[in-house]
A = this chain, B = another copy of it.
Amino acid sequence: MPDLEGVSPLILNRLSVYLRCLRHLQETGVERISSQQLADRFLLSASQIRKDLAQFGDFGIRGVGYEVAVLADHLNSLLGLDRSHPLLIVGMGNLGSALSRYLGFNHGAFKVVAAVDRDPEKVGRDMGDFVIRHVDDLPAVVRDSGAEIGVLAVPASAAQENYEALVRAGIRAVLNFAPARVKRIQGVPLKNVDLRINLEEVAFVLGPQGRGRGASLADPLDDDLPT
């Protein structure tokens, strides 16, 4: 395994994108593809693809390109998607409830296995695969459910304390949807999700006067959603 210290979040994001493109190619029966073809087809950069992939091994064959299935398996394993990642939702308001049923959070390597809240009206509610428990029981919930990744869906003002409670309870990593600056604790990866960046992309395509730029929002992820 190469040294992955300090790998850029943008590279991780691109690896995910490449994997989706490859899965789409697999579904449509493509067996081999060059970096240039991959780039042309999904509006990516061929040199960027070669550079990114070269960091993690020697996947391409000069003049032949990549074996789609082999490279997809490599990326799948590199991204840790060949084993299960049970999820725990903290905060079962509107966002937490939506995420607990979100298809992409309940497909393949991921599955929501537990949820906590502090509202007595919500605690005890049966969500089908689990029952909402009280946030004070976090250590037991993490232990009982085997949850690995905590998903923070609490108000901004409660993000820090709940992140810390998750860490104390033994969670391995945290995905934070609360719009708050959360101070990291060493050893427990934290990713802050900012949904606004999607709006900024759309605003860009609409152009400075909203008359459109002719730019496309063609998106390699379009055709590879879990179904």
- Whether a CB of chain B sits under 8 angstroms from the CB of A6 is yes
For this chain, the copies found in one complex come to 2
Alpha-carbon distance between A17 and B11 when the two chains are bound, in angstroms: 13
Interface size class of A (residues with CB under 8 A): 35 or more
Contact B203 A79 (CB under 8 A): yes
For A181, the chain B residues whose CB sits under 8 A away are 222-223, 225, 227
For A200, the chain B residues whose CB sits under 8 A away are 12, 16, 19, 79, 81
For A227, the chain B residues whose CB sits under 8 A away are 181
Residues on A lying within 8 angstroms of B by beta carbon are 1, 3-10, 12-17, 19, 43-45, 48, 77-83, 85, 87, 93-95, 97-99, 102-105, 107, 109-110, 148-149, 156, 172-175, 179-181, 187, 189-210, 212-223, 225-227
Contact A189 B206 (CB under 8 A): yes
Q: Which of B87, B189, B221 interacts with A205 by CB under 8 Å? A: B189
